[in-house]
Chain A
C-alpha cells in the first residue's frame, strides 16, 4: 500500500518512536502445558487473521524438560520476542501456566506493558490475535479475548 518513502517527504514518514501507540501491534503469547497445543493454537489464530497483518504471536508451551508443564524461561523469551512496544497479551491454559505468568509479572520479569489476559485459551487466542492484527491496543485486545467467554455454543 505505502509507496517507498521518497527522500525529502517527511510528512509521510511515520515516527517510529512517538507513533508507536498507533503503529506498533500488540504482541500475543500463548502459554500451554503442551508445546504442540501452544504452537497449533498460535498457527490457527494467525491463520484466521486472513493475512491482514503480521501479528507478533509466539507459543510458549511445555515444561523445562520439554514434556507437559510450564517453563518460565520460554514464557519470558516468547514475550520479549513479540514485544513491539505496544504491550504483550499473555493467554495461559491452566494451573501452573497461569501461576507462572502471574509470578513473572509480580517480579517484573516480562516486558513492560505485558499482562495476563483472563480468557479461554483457544477462543481467547483467536480473538486476541485477530483484534491485534487490526491494530487494537492492549486494552481492546484484552477485552476481545475476555469476551470470548461469552460466546455460547448452544
Chain B
C-alpha cells in the first residue's frame, strides 16, 4: 500500500533469486549440522533433504527464471515439495507457495507486502502440520520471525533492518526450542527424551530468514 519505497531497492524477482542463492548456500554449508541435530530426535536426514531440495529449486529457477517475486517463491515451493522427501518438503513448500501466491503477479513488492505474504505462508504451515507455538517445530522460529518483521516495519525500519530483526527473532526462537518437548513428528514419540535438543526444522527456518536478511543488506534494500 505504501507507494514510497521504505528505503533502498524494491523487492523484485532478482531479489528473491538472490535469496534463493543465499539460502541454498547456507543449507549446503549447514547440511551436516542440520543432520546432526536431526540424529538424536529425528531420522537424521534433514540436512541431506534440505540440500537436495534447495539445489533442485535453484537449478529449476535458473533454467526457467520466473519474472515476479511471487513466481520465484511459488517455483521454489513446488520444487521443495517434489524433491525434499521429508516433512520439511511439504511444509516449506506450502510456506513458499502460499507466500508466492499472496504476492500475486506484481513485478515488485514492498517489504510490507513481503511481510504479509510470509505471514500467510507461515499460517499455511500451521494449518498443514497442525502444530502450534511451543510444539518444538519450525513454527517456533517462523512465528517470532514474521512478528518481528511486521513490528520493525511498523516502527519505520527499512527493509534490511526489518529482515535482520526477523532473522534474529528466528534464531532466538530456534534456540528456545531446546528445552521444549516435541509434540509433532517423529520426535514426539520420544516424549521427555526430546527435551534438550534444538529442533532441526526451527534451525533451518532461521537459516532461511537469515538468508533474507543477508540478501537485503547486500542489495541495500
A interface residues, Cβ below 8 angstroms from B: 63-65, 67-73, 94-96, 99-100, 102-104, 106-107
Residues of A within 8 A of B49 (CB): 69
Most buried by B among A68, A99, A102: A99
B91 at the interface (CB under 8 A from A): yes
B193 located at the interface, meaning its Cβ lies under 8 Å from any Cβ of chain A in the complex: no
Would B83 and A99 count as touching, CB distance under 8 A? no
Query: Could you list 20 further interchain pairs (A-B, Cβ under 8 angstroms) beyond the known A99-B87, A99-B89?
Result: A64-B83, A64-B84, A68-B43, A68-B45, A69-B45, A69-B85, A71-B85, A72-B81, A72-B90, A95-B86, A96-B90, A99-B90, A99-B91, A99-B128, A100-B89, A102-B90, A103-B93, A103-B94, A103-B128, A107-B97
Contacts of B43 in A (CB 8 A): 68
Say yes or no: A70-B85 contact (C-beta < 8 A), given A99-B90, A103-B90: yes
Neighbour of B82 across the interface among A73, A96, A99, A102, CB < 8 A: A73
Q: Mark B43-56, 1 if CB is under 8 A from A, else 0.
A: 10100010010000
B7 interfacial contact with A, CB 8 Å: no
Q: How far is the CA of A64 from the CA of B129 in the complex (A)?
A: 21
Scoring A71, A95, A103 by chain B CB atoms within 10 A of each residue's CB, the highest score goes to A103
User: Which residues from A are CB-within-8-Å of B94?
Assistant: 103, 106
Return the chain A residue nearest B88 by Cβ: A96
Instruction: Check A100 against B90 for contact (C-beta < 8 Å).
Output: yes
**B29, CB-defined interface residue at 8 Å:** no
B185 at the interface (CB under 8 A from A): yes
* A84 to B128 CA separation, bound complex (whole angstroms): 28
A102 proximity list for chain B (CB < 8 A): 90, 128
Please give me the residue from chain A that is nearest to B43 by CB atom. A68
Q: Which 4 A-B pairs rank lowest in CB-CB distance, beginning with the nearest? A: A63-B85, A69-B85, A103-B90, A96-B87
CB distance from A121 to the nearest CB of B (A): 15
Among A68, A73, A96, the most chain B Cβ lie within 10 Å of the Cβ of: A96
Least Cβ–Cβ distance between A145 and chain B, in angstroms: 20
11 contacts across the A-B interface (CB closer than 8 A): A63-B86, A64-B83, A70-B85, A71-B82, A72-B81, A95-B185, A96-B88, A100-B89, A103-B81, A103-B90, A107-B97
In the complex, what residues of B have CB within 8 A of residue A107's CB? 97
In the complex, what residues of B have CB within 8 A of residue A65's CB?
52, 85
Over the window 97-132 of chain B, the binary record of Cβ atoms lying under 8 Å from chain A Cβ atoms (1 yes, 0 no) is 100000000000000000000000000000011000
**A69 and B97 form a contact (CB under 8 A):** no
Q: A65-B52, A102-B128, A103-B81 are in contact. Are A96 and B97 (CB under 8 A)?
A: no
* Chain B min CB distance to A52 (Å): 35
User: Which residues of A have CB within 8 Å of B86?
Assistant: 63, 69-70, 95-96
Q: How far is the CB of B99 from chain A (nearest CB, A)?
A: 14
Inside 8 A of A69's CB, which chain B residues have their CB?
45, 49, 85-86
- The docked-state distance in angstroms from the alpha carbon of A63 to that of B83 is 8
Are B185 and A100 closer than 8 Å at their CB atoms?
Answer: no
1/0 contact string of B16-52 vs chain A (CB within 8 Å): 0000000000000000000000000001010001001
Interchain nearest-CB distance for B136 vs A (Å): 14
B80 to chain A, nearest CB (A): 10
Q: How far is the CA of A100 from the CA of B94 in the complex (A)?
A: 10
For B129, list chain A residues within 8 Å (CB).
Answer: 99
